[in-house]
Structure 1
């Protein structure tokens, strides 16, 4: 059965969000991470939409969505997604997030706990939770402080060079990471006016996110949580963080994979997500 994936736009809270939509049934929200956008979810959508209504937005500042000056703390970005869900009449949804998207997914579940049926977090970390400053991804601390006028001038027209670092160095094997076609697509998307600045703002807001998440973590989530991590990336770290913020956590380390789970290990990642979301 082939699934039709529609590209749509919605105006929510004064900003235009682009999103992919497919299928029908229980809703699932898929939230992408940095160096990618909603396009990353297409292989999962093709399978998941056979049984679910799937909504995959481009987060504020990314892809074809608006790129406002502010609002890149994950609490606000989760509010955007919630406003989108409300505009679509969704009373409850499962939420899945990778990388920056997992931070938005957690902020969504923490703010709207009665409107989340299941929560899946995929390879990165939760700022402000546990010993978060020792996470694997922070070995590359420079890029979290890489924002402002000079960094923007340095990457202007060189977006692909900048992102190659993430796609290659955060993968277990650069040859089995994000595909060449997708690299071209993402580089073009981040080459749009305001896109690189928006991405940098996502990092600039980690300090605020850490304060917000420390507050959220005081109340453990009751919703079932799946944590998927790359063996050659976050490993057990995010699973341990998940157990600090939720009561019921299933942790799966994806063998042989680095950070780009959907791209590096779809044969492990997609079945694990389908099993969890269809349970």
Structure 2
């Protein structure tokens, strides 16, 4: 073979290999769930994003002692026909810590600004714990932009006889904020959160998994995160005033309420019926507060069925 032919053959092989690598790179699938961030309403919000499709996007709002990470098992069951967004609430996860605005009305405005900037007008909302309060405040402020709402185990401050909610038998943490509580918890974040993960579960040995406990405790141990978390509770008096006003105009969109049999029980369902005219209540059997971790099969199946129902025209 001549030297020229060898050079041509080698060059062709290199180009073919390069082309194959380029094609493979273009064909490489994007991660099913992507980490993103956006500046909305003056605050940098981190969120998980997944899915494509024409159906109404779903926004998942986590609760206290957790982050958007809690939603991963549900995201994979919803992202086949729609966009799914799971933000870290202001002050939690990887979202920025605002100087103020930890009342749920303001937090809902932050999430709404995120949704609007991403180009979505209508959404379906799912919220657990503090997240359900943010979801309700979102729906109450923007009812024409919410096709459905799911509330998961906690309560609505200011609605009905809310002072008798089951969580209030152990409400010391509602007033646990300020310099001394922060000093007491510093370096002991895991110990503090064990109270919630264990005592609010039906069975402490079948609650939030160990790997997630390490993740959440480490995240909240970062500067300013515990103080921000305390402010979620500190804002309850303001939330109660806001929600009592919201409740004067009942919502009309479909509402699913999931309550742990060993936690909120019928209380949250009864509250929901005071604020919405179209409530479907489900008691999650043998579960405490941590529905996604304690009863994932029941919880995910109920949410997916509800979300996938055709929207009323």
Could you list the runs of 4 or more consecutive aligned residues of structure 1 that deviate by over 2 angstroms after TM superposition? none
1:5 equivalent in alignment to 2:33: yes
SS of structure 2 residue aligned to 1:125: coil
SS of structure 2 residue aligned to 1:157: coil
SS of structure 2 residue aligned to 1:117: strand
Match of 1:132 in 2: 162
Match of 2:263 in 1: 233
How large is the RMSD of aligned CA atoms in angstroms? 1.1
Structure 1 residues 212-246: Cα deviation after superposition (integer angstroms, max 9, x where no partner) = 00000000001000000000000000000000000
1:14 equivalent in alignment to 2:42: yes
Alignment of 1:267-278 (within 5 A): 267-278=297-308
Match of 1:243 in 2: 273
Tell me how far apart the structure 2 counterparts of residues 87 and 144 of structure 1 sit (CA, whole Å).
33
1:188 equivalent in alignment to 2:218: yes
Of 175, 190, 194, which aligns to 1:145?
Answer: 175
1:93 equivalent in alignment to 2:100: no
Tell me how far apart the structure 2 counterparts of residues 145 and 235 of structure 1 sit (CA, whole Å).
24
Q: CA deviation at 1:266?
A: 0.2
Q: CA deviation at 1:3?
A: 7.0
SS of structure 1 residue aligned to 2:297: helix
Q: CA deviation at 1:68?
A: 1.7
Match of 2:78 in 1: 48
Alignment of 1:37-116 (within 5 A): 37-116=67-146
Structure 1 residues 86-145: Cα deviation after superposition (integer angstroms, max 9, x where no partner) = 010001000000000000000000000000000000000000000000000111110000
Tell me how far apart the structure 2 counterparts of residues 169 and 50 of structure 1 sit (CA, whole Å).
36
Tell me how far apart the structure 2 counterparts of residues 69 and 80 of structure 1 sit (CA, whole Å).
13
SS of structure 1 residue aligned to 2:248: coil
TM-score, with structure 1 as normaliser: 0.99
Tell me how far apart the structure 1 counterparts of residues 167 and 81 of structure 2 sit (CA, whole Å).
34
Alignment of 1:201-216 (within 5 A): 201-216=231-246
SS of structure 2 residue aligned to 1:19: strand
Q: CA deviation at 1:163?
A: 0.1
1:27 equivalent in alignment to 2:57: yes
Tell me how far apart the structure 1 counterparts of residues 221 and 82 of structure 2 sit (CA, whole Å).
33
SS of structure 2 residue aligned to 1:97: strand
Q: CA deviation at 1:50?
A: 1.4
TM-score, with structure 2 as normaliser: 0.88
Q: CA deviation at 1:24?
A: 1.5
Match of 1:219 in 2: 249
Of 191, 200, 204, which aligns to 1:174?
Answer: 204
Tell me how far apart the structure 2 counterparts of residues 223 and 167 of structure 1 sit (CA, whole Å).
32
